[in-house]
Amino acid sequence: MIDPKDKNLPVIDTEDSQASEHVKLSRRLFLGGSAALVGGAAAMGATMGGALMPSVAHASTDAKHTVGPGELDEYYGFWSGGHQGEVRVLGLPSMRELMRIPVFNVDSATGWGLTNESKEVLGENAPLNGDCHHPHMSMTDGQYDGKYIFINDKANTRVARIRGDIMKTDKITTVPNCQAIHGLRVQKVPYTKYIFANAEFRMPHPNNGLNMDDVEGYYTMFNGLDAESMDVAWQVIVDGNLDNTDADYTGKYAFSTCYNSEGAIDLPGSMRNERDHLVIFNIERIEAAVKAGKFITLPGSDVPVVDGRKGSELTRYVPVPKNPHGINTAPGGKYAVANGKLSPTVTVFELAKFDELFADKIQPRDTVVAEVELGLGPLHTAFDGRGNAFTTLFIDSQVCKWDVEKAIRFYNGEKVDYILQKLDVHYQPGHNHTTMGETRDADGQYLVSLQKFSKDRFLKCGPLHAENDQLIDISGDEMKLIHDGPAFAEPHDCMMVHRSKVKTRKLYDRKDPTFATTVAMAKKDGITLETDSKVIRDGNKVRVYMTSVAPNYGLNEFTVKQGDEVTVIITNLDEIEDVSHGFCMVNHGAQMEISPQQTASITFKADQVGVHWYYCNWFCHALHMEMRGRMLVEPA
C-alpha cells in the first residue's frame, strides 16, 4: 500500500517491494522521469507541481483511422465539458468536435440561458455555472437506446437530461438535501428507469447552522432519479462519502466507491484508513422499503429517504483499498472493477455473488475474486468486450492493459502474467473509455484516455494549458496511440456510441415540447405562429410575434414604448435542413438560435428610446447581412 504521507513516496525500494515485475518496472521508469518531484505531501500531488520529461510518442498513421474530407465518423462521442458546464459531441475516430450542447452554462450562440425556453428548463434563478463530470446514455437491455444523455453538475448538485433527437437539454433537477452530485450512471437493465447519482460531500442534517461541529453526525446520500420525470425517486443515507458509481446487468444492483470511510473533514484524515469501501445498493429492497413507507423526509422536500448505513438490509459495504475512485462494470456484467487510486491495485468483484451477499450466505470480501497490482494511481477502467481491461494509471502516466480472467487466476495463486501492455499517455490520465464499452455491445475498437495535463504536447496558450484527450487503437493485440486531441477544461469523462444508435431530427417537429409553453402563450394571444407576424400589447408587456424565412423576418420593424418589457417570439418556417436563423437585438443583451421549424423567444427591456436594429446572427443566405429590422422605441 502507498502511504501518501511518506515524503519519499516515489522512491520505492524495488528489492523489498512485493510489487509484480510490471509494477517494479513502471516505478523505475517513474523514478527516472520525475525523481526531482519527490517531496509532495500526497501521492496524487507528487507529480502535479513540476514538468515531466518530454516524451516523444510516435503516432501511428493508419488509413483505417483516417476520416477524409466529406466522410463521416463511425462513432459519436459525448464529452463532459467539465466546469465549463456544457456537453460536447465529437466524431470518432477523427476526434472532430461536431457540436456543443449548453447545459449548466450560458451560450450566446444558441441563447441558452437567455431564451425563455431555456430558462424554463433551467428554472427560476438557476445558477448559470456548472461542473459536469459523467455523461451517460440511456439504455434498454444493456444497450444504448439513443434516447437521452444524462450529466451531473457537481457545482450545484444537479442532474440534467439531454434529448438524443435534437441534442438539447430538456430537463434539469436539483437534488435536495445534498451537496455535490458526482458519480452518475444509468440503470442498464431492463431499461433506464433510474439514473443513479452520488452526492459526494457529507453534511449536517438539518443543515441549520446549529450542529456544524457534529462531524460524526454528517451524512450524504445515494440518489435514484426517475429517468422520465427526472424527479428524485428516493435517497439512501450512507456511511462515508460517495465518489463514482456504476450498475449491473440484472437491474438489481448499483454500487458506489467511497474514499472517505473515515468521515474526515480534512485531507490527511481521509487517507487514514488502509481500506475504504464499495457500497452496494439493492434496488429492489430500496423500492420495497419506500413502498412500505419505511422512510423519512427531510426539510424542504418530500423525497423518501431510506437509511442505508452499515447494518441496513438495503446495502452492503465491501472493504476496498485505498481511497478507491472509479468503479466500472465489465460488458455483460460478470465483473466490476474498483480502482485503488492510493493503492496500486484494482479490485475485481464477481457480481453474481451479490445475491448471496444480500442473503447473508457470504461475507462482503467473498465477492472479491481478484485484487491485483497494476501500477501507481489507478483511477478508471474500460473494457474491450474480449476479456481485456484498460486501467488509467494517473501517477505512472500510463494505460495498463490487463486480462481479467488471468488476474483472477493470479490472485488464486497461479503464476500467470495478467498484465499485457503498458502504454505511455501524456500526461496523468483520469477517465478512459472504450467504444460501446459500458454496454453489452462493447466492440473493442477504440480507447480514449483523458489526460489532465498536456504539458509539452501542444502550442502554448499561456499558463493555462489544454488537456489532452488521446485516441488509442485497441482493435489489435497492441494498443496504439493514434491521435492527440486538445480539450478545454475539463473532460472528466466521455462515452462513445456507434452512430447507428443515434437518430437525430433534421427539423424540429412543430409539436416539440421544448416550445410548448410558447405555443400556449401564442394561442392565448390568438396568434397562429406559422403564419402570423403581429405585435400584441398587454399593459407594458409587448409580445412581438414573427416568422422567419431566409432572408426575411416576418416584421421589418415594430414599435414599442420606452420601459416596455418586450418578448420577441420567432418561428422559423424554413424547411431546409441546416438553415438556422438567429435573432439579435443590438445593445440589449438578447440573441438566440431559431432552427428550421423551431419557435424560440427572448425577453428584454426596451429602456432606450430611438431606433434599435435587430439582425440574424446565424449565416443563412447570400442576403444574411440584409436579414434585419428596426425596433422603434417611442418615449413613454
58 assigned to a ligand binding site:
no
Contact status: 581 vs ligand CUA (CB under 6 A)? yes
- Given ligand K7E, ligand CUA, Ca ion, none, residue 323, with its beta carbon under 5 to 8 Å by kind, binds Ca ion
136 assigned to a ligand binding site:
no
- Of the pair 445, 548, the CB lying nearest ligand CUA is at 548
- Given Ca ion, ligand K7E, ligand CUA, none, residue 276, with its beta carbon under 5 to 8 Å by kind, binds Ca ion
Options 133, 158, 168, 171; binder of ligand K7E; rule CB under 6 A: 133
Phi-psi region of 510 (alpha: psi -120 to 50; beta: other; left: phi over 0): alpha
Looking at the chain, the number of H-run helices and the number of E-run strands are: 6, 39
Which alpha helices (H) appear in 265-402, and where do they start and end? 283-291, 354-358
Options 259, 354, 515, 618; binder of ligand CUA; rule CB under 6 A: 618
What is d(CA 604, CA 612) in angstroms, rounded to the nearest whole number? 13
Buried/exposed 558-587: b ≥16 CB within 10 Å, e otherwise: bebbeebbbbbbbbbbbeeeebbbbbbbee
Contact status: 430 vs ligand K7E (CB under 6 A)? yes
- Given Ca ion, ligand K7E, ligand CUA, none, residue 619, with its beta carbon under 5 to 8 Å by kind, binds ligand CUA
What is d(CA 598, CA 575) in angstroms, rounded to the nearest whole number? 10
In whole angstroms, the minimum distance from the beta carbon of 200 to ligand K7E comes to 9
Residue 285 is which amino acid?
R
584 assigned to a ligand binding site:
no
What is d(CA 270, CA 202) in angstroms, rounded to the nearest whole number? 12
What is d(CA 428, CA 371) in angstroms, rounded to the nearest whole number? 23
What is d(CA 36, CA 52) in angstroms, rounded to the nearest whole number? 10
- Of the pair 270, 591, the CB lying nearest Ca ion is at 270
In whole angstroms, the minimum distance from the beta carbon of 149 to ligand K7E comes to 16
First to last CA, the chain: 75
Find cell 513516496 and name the residue: 9
In whole angstroms, the minimum distance from the beta carbon of 581 to ligand CUA comes to 4
Cell numbers given for 37: 518531484
618 assigned to a ligand binding site:
yes
Residue 501-540 contact track with ligand CUA, rule CB under 6 A, x = bound: ----------------------------------------
Decide the pairing of beta strands 564-572 and 541-549: parallel
In whole angstroms, the minimum distance from the beta carbon of 620 to ligand CUA comes to 3
Cell numbers given for 300: 424542504
What is d(CA 141, CA 1) in angstroms, rounded to the nearest whole number? 39
What is d(CA 45, CA 50) in angstroms, rounded to the nearest whole number? 10
Options 22, 182, 188, 501; binder of ligand K7E; rule CB under 6 A: 182
Q: Which of residues 543-562 bind ligand CUA (CB under 6 A)?
A: 550-551
Residue 190 is which amino acid?
P
Backbone angles phi, psi at 520, to 5 degrees: -65, -40
- Of the pair 12, 254, the CB lying nearest ligand K7E is at 254
What is d(CA 185, CA 174) in angstroms, rounded to the nearest whole number? 17
Cell numbers given for 594: 431559431
In whole angstroms, the minimum distance from the beta carbon of 548 to ligand CUA comes to 6
581 assigned to a ligand binding site:
yes
Find cell 441496513 and name the residue: 312
Specify the stretch interacting with ligand CUA by CB under 6 A; choose among 13-21, 388-396, 412-420, 615-623. Answer: 615-623
Contact status: 334 vs ligand K7E (CB under 6 A)? no
Give the 3-state secondary structure of residue 379.
strand
Q: Which of residues 216-275 bind ligand K7E (CB under 6 A)?
A: 244
In whole angstroms, the minimum distance from the beta carbon of 507 to ligand K7E comes to 36
Instruction: Determine the residue with CB nearest ligand K7E.
Output: 430
In whole angstroms, the minimum distance from the beta carbon of 617 to ligand CUA comes to 7
Question: Which residues would be at the binding site for Ca ion (CB under 5 A)?
Answer: 270, 276, 323
> For residue 624, what is the DSSP state?
S
Where along the sequence are the contacts to ligand K7E (CB under 6 A)? Answer: 133-134, 182, 244, 325-326, 379-380, 430-431, 492-493
Binding site per annotation, positions: 133-134, 182, 325, 380, 431, 492, 581, 616, 618, 620, 624, 627
Please give the residue ranges that form the binding site for ligand CUA (CB under 6 A).
550-551, 581, 616, 618-620, 624, 627
Extract the annotated binding site for Cu cation.
Answer: 133-134, 182, 325, 380, 431, 492, 581, 616, 618, 620, 624, 627
